[in-house]
Structures are given as structure tokens and as C-alpha cells.
A and B are shown apart, each in its own frame.
Chain A
């Protein structure tokens, strides 16, 4: 998957770091770093991070934004 953060808009609230700690990190107190191309298995986490951003600074590739049906079906399929 692919993401980008508008770091002019970002105000370091850190919601993304809580939601997806392997994708986003603070380097120092306020300097956000992130992986533009996290593994596909982190897609749900990254989507949650984008939704949680108070200033909506995180954009996700349109292909990764499609409805969660595929993921959900996979996860639900694992349930007994």
C-alpha cells in the first residue's frame, strides 16, 4: 500500500503513531517520520491512522482506499 502525509498540515498530534506504530514514529518530540509503502498487512492500521488524524493530513492511495470488504471477508473467514 502507499501513503503520504502533508507535513505542512501535520501538527504532530500523534494519533497516527498510536494507531499504526510500525508505520509512523516520532523522531524527537515533534518530528514525524513514516513509511510511504508499508506492508499490505498493515493496511487496516494505516487506514485507521488516516481516519484518526485531527487535521486530515494523511492521504492513502485510491487503490488502498477501496472498501474493506476484501480484508473483512478474509478476517471473518478465519473465525470459527
Chain B
């Protein structure tokens, strides 16, 4: 009998690798492939006409005008000697013939494939209203440049639909430009999906202090234009009608998996399922050898999350998962690596820096551990069943690594820190995350079921109404 532990095949460093998705994950994967000795033919396919650029500044410094939209191109760690097919989306995957089909009819053959197609902005549900001049989403460089041009023109009022991170950051940029801003949030507080309602209550206060007309538990029912197709008015569920000439739709994202429909992979609206080594599962739940997944579009079982399949739309997840996927594309069974990313992200808004590490969305409790919210310097820990699972810092980034160590060690919650700036008495509060299945405007970290072949939850009238951002959450389903 032969050993199952074989050395990497001789052609692992050769052949044809195709990466679909030419953003952060695609670029980092390409660099890692070359770094680790891949000498074969490398192709990057991207639907945007630009080489990989960074998205975080698009909702911040690009809107305030400090940074031109085209000053966001990512540096290269090394020469990746790749063939670039930019400005043309992939529309099909033919596993049988090992080819990616492009929108212009070309077919690109591969030996190994990396799927890194990421997400796009979730549009306003009414296509006619979404097409009005003045209605924007913020995902691409072009989106940000066009929105910036409209903000410079001095709109009477900017309406922001959705109080997740993008919505809150855009509100911050608009206030900095001196523009009148109304932010409409369907749940009880902004950032409730990402940080919980307890922290969201503080975010709400911050927004109002900075002059945002924040309306929670409210939805936008309709956007109305004039005869020229320009946005003029918005009808809200609280009965108000607002004169607005710019609306920013910030309702989260949609994963780019449509091109994989019928391809035979475990891919649907929740993402592309892959194992801990970033290898895609096929539709029967069998792991593939040469199809890999990384970044916003991947859903994989996280060891810290009880094996639940997670999707994590974080910058550092895109980087780390791409590096692991690329390593494993060249690795044999004994040298494969698992992707064990501990989620971490940041946001800058209203003059403060927010950083987060861990898995806050599973938390039941939050407790202030250091500093004070009133002084705009604070640290809080999130707990789940008596263990610390996440921590958030407000203008205190240097504390985060210490909390990260506690989270990795699954330390007891509330943590005993004896910090000099700790409160006299710890006062744990309910963290206030939405219940599973309840949609939020900003899901940057989502649990998507226990297995690769777990079917998508069925859509019925109730779930359709829940997903419609125009329907107030408190109202009975249509």
C-alpha cells in the first residue's frame, strides 16, 4: 500500500493558475504564489478596469476630498508576472473542461483556480428609483468619485439609507463638508448589526452630537424624482417627506456568486463554501483539489465558532485567506495550512477611531473595561456564556493586542484586568445583537449554517418582507 502522505506533485509550481477577482485578495494571492515559487502561467481576471485598489478610503478621505479617488491603487509586494484581463467579468465556470468563461465570449483555461470575486453593493430594491440621478452606492472607485462630485456641488440635504459602517462613515464625511444629513436606520440604533445595540446607542449619540438628523426604527418607503429623472424627495415610514438631492444607499453587500450558478460548486447567495484549507466544496459537499476560495465571497468553518460556516468581509481576512489559499495551491497534504483568522476591523468616523477584534456578533453581554465614553477614550469587552469573545476600542488602539490574547485564550468574562483606568465597578449590559436571521444593514461577519451543503433557508413572504429595506422591522410582514 502506498502512503497517503505524498510530497507535493512536481507540477505544483507549474501549470496554469487563474484568479477570478482582481482586488485585494486576488493581488495578495498572486504575490504569495510567486513568493512561494510558482513559475507557471498566472492570469488575473477583474470586472473593473483598474488594477487592484484599496476600498476603505472610498467612504472617508475620498469623500472629504483629502484623497483623490485614483490615489488608492495598492502597492505590489513583488513582481507577479501575470496576465491581466481587466474590465471584463467572469460569467461562467466550466469544471468539466476547466475553463472560465468571460463576458466577451473568451474562455480561459486553468489547472488550478482561485475564486476571489468578493461582493458588490446591495442596490435600492426599486430599480427605477435606484436609477434616479443623485442615488448612489459606495463600493467602487467610480462610485466614490461620482458621489464626491455631487457632494462638492452642495446638495441641500444628503439622505443616507442604512446606518452600518459605510452609512455612518459617509454621514461623517458629509457633516465634515458642512452638508445637512439625514440618516435613516431600520433597526433601533446605527451599527447594531456589527457592534450590538448597546454600543450602537453610543454611536447614535455621537452622530447626533455631530449634527446628523438620525432616525432609527424608520425606513425609506420611496425615492421620487422630477421630470428630468433627478432625485428630489424621499418618503419615510415616520410620515415625513424630505427634500433631498443626494441619497446614499448603504444596505450592505451581495456576494458575487451568480457566475457560478450551475457550475457544480457549493455556491449560492451566502457565498462559496470552502474548507479550512480554502478548498471549495462541490455541490454534494465533497471537497475539491484544485478550486480555492478567498476573501469576502468565501464561507468556511471557523474553529472558534463551533464549526459554523462564516463569511467575513474584512480587509485583513481578504489578505490572510488569500495568502493561505495561495500557499495551499502549491502545498501537498503534509504542508497544507488552515485559515484560522481572528476577525479584526476598524472604522474612522466623526473624528474617532474604532477598532474591534474577535467575534462580537455571537456575544450576549458587553462591559466597559477601561476609560470612559464621555471622554472619547474607552475599551469594552464582549462576552458569550462567561467567556470573552471580542473587544472594541474607541481611540485606544494600543490596548487591542492585550485583549486579543485574552480572546484567543478564551479567558473568563468579564475579564479581571485591574486596569488603572478601569471603572470602580463592572456593569455588564446585554450586547443587543439582532437575532439570527434578522437582517441588518451591515453584516460584516455572518454565520451561514453548519455545513457546506446546508440548503439556503427557504424564501417565503415573511422572509422576503424581512429582507425588503422599505418595510419597517416593527411592522407585521406584508
Give residues in A with beta carbon < 8 Å to B: 2-4, 6-8, 10-13, 25, 27-33, 35-37, 59-64
Residues in B with CB closer than 8 Å to A36 are: 53-54, 57, 67, 71-75
Residues in A with CB closer than 8 Å to B54 are: 4, 36
Q: How far is the CA of A59 from the CA of B54 in the complex (A)?
A: 13
B259 located at the interface, meaning its Cβ lies under 8 Å from any Cβ of chain A in the complex: no
Query: Closest CB of chain B to A66's CB: distance in Å?
Result: 12
A33 adjacent to B61 (CB under 8 Å): yes
A30 adjacent to B395 (CB under 8 Å): yes
Interface size on B (CB < 8 Å)? Answer: 35
Query: Closest CB of chain B to A63's CB: distance in Å?
Result: 7
Q: How far is the CA of A30 from the CA of B348 in the complex (A)?
A: 9
Residues in B with CB closer than 8 Å to A13 are: 398
Q: How far is the CA of A80 from the CA of B70 in the complex (A)?
A: 39
B397 adjacent to A35 (CB under 8 Å): no
Mostly helix, strand, loop or mixed at chain A's interface? loop
Query: Closest CB of chain A to B204's CB: distance in Å?
Result: 19
A10 adjacent to B397 (CB under 8 Å): yes
A29 adjacent to B345 (CB under 8 Å): no
Ordered by A's residue number, 29 sampled pairs between the chains whose C-beta atoms are within 8 Å are A2-B74, A2-B76, A4-B75, A6-B316, A7-B346, A8-B316, A8-B344, A11-B398, A11-B400, A12-B397, A25-B66, A27-B348, A30-B353, A30-B395, A31-B353, A33-B60, A33-B66, A33-B67, A36-B53, A36-B57, A36-B71, A36-B75, A37-B72, A37-B73, A59-B77, A61-B75, A62-B76, A62-B77, A64-B75
B 57-85 binary contact with A (CB < 8 Å = 1; else 0): 10011000011001111111111000000
Residues in A with CB closer than 8 Å to B316 are: 6, 8
Residue among A3, A8, A27 with the most chain B CB within 10 A?
A: A8
Query: Closest CB of chain A to B421's CB: distance in Å?
Result: 16
Residues in B with CB closer than 8 Å to A37 are: 70-73
Known contacts A27-B351, A28-B352; 10 additional CB pairs below 8 A are A2-B75, A7-B346, A8-B315, A8-B355, A11-B397, A27-B66, A32-B353, A36-B53, A61-B75, A64-B75
A28 adjacent to B351 (CB under 8 Å): yes
Query: Closest CB of chain A to B383's CB: distance in Å?
Result: 22
A29 touching B75 in the complex, CB below 8 Å, given contacts A8-B346, A36-B54: no
Residue among B78, B395, B397 with the most chain A CB within 10 A?
A: B397
Residues in A with CB closer than 8 Å to B348 are: 27-28, 31, 33
Q: How far is the CA of A70 from the CA of B316 in the complex (A)?
A: 34
Residues in B with CB closer than 8 Å to A4 are: 54, 74-75
Residues in A with CB closer than 8 Å to B395 are: 28-30
Query: Closest CB of chain B to A59's CB: distance in Å?
Result: 6
Residues in A with CB closer than 8 Å to B61 are: 27, 33
Residues in A with CB closer than 8 Å to B56 are: 7
Minimum CB distance partner of A29 in chain B: B395
B346 adjacent to A35 (CB under 8 Å): no
Q: How far is the CA of A46 from the CA of B407 in the complex (A)?
A: 35
Query: Closest CB of chain A to B315's CB: distance in Å?
Result: 7
Q: Which of B60, B70, B76 contacts A61 (CB 8 A)?
A: B76
Q: Which of A2, A60, A62 contacts B79 (CB 8 A)?
A: A62
A33 adjacent to B397 (CB under 8 Å): no
B 341-374 binary contact with A (CB < 8 Å = 1; else 0): 0001110100111010000000000000000000
Which residues in chain B, 291-330, are within 8 Å of chain A measured between CB atoms?
315-316, 319
Query: Closest CB of chain A to B59's CB: distance in Å?
Result: 12
Q: How far is the CA of A21 from the CA of B340 in the complex (A)?
A: 37
A3 adjacent to B352 (CB under 8 Å): no
B 15-53 binary contact with A (CB < 8 Å = 1; else 0): 000000000000000000000000000000000000001
Residue among A6, A29, A37 with the most chain B CB within 10 A?
A: A37
A63 touching B76 in the complex, CB below 8 Å, given contacts A8-B345, A8-B346: yes
Residues in B with CB closer than 8 Å to A6 are: 316, 319
Q: Which of A12, A33, A35 contacts B398 (CB 8 A)?
A: A12
Minimum CB distance partner of B70 in chain A: A37
Minimum CB distance partner of B349 in chain A: A31
Residues in A with CB closer than 8 Å to B397 are: 10-12, 30
Minimum CB distance partner of B61 in chain A: A33
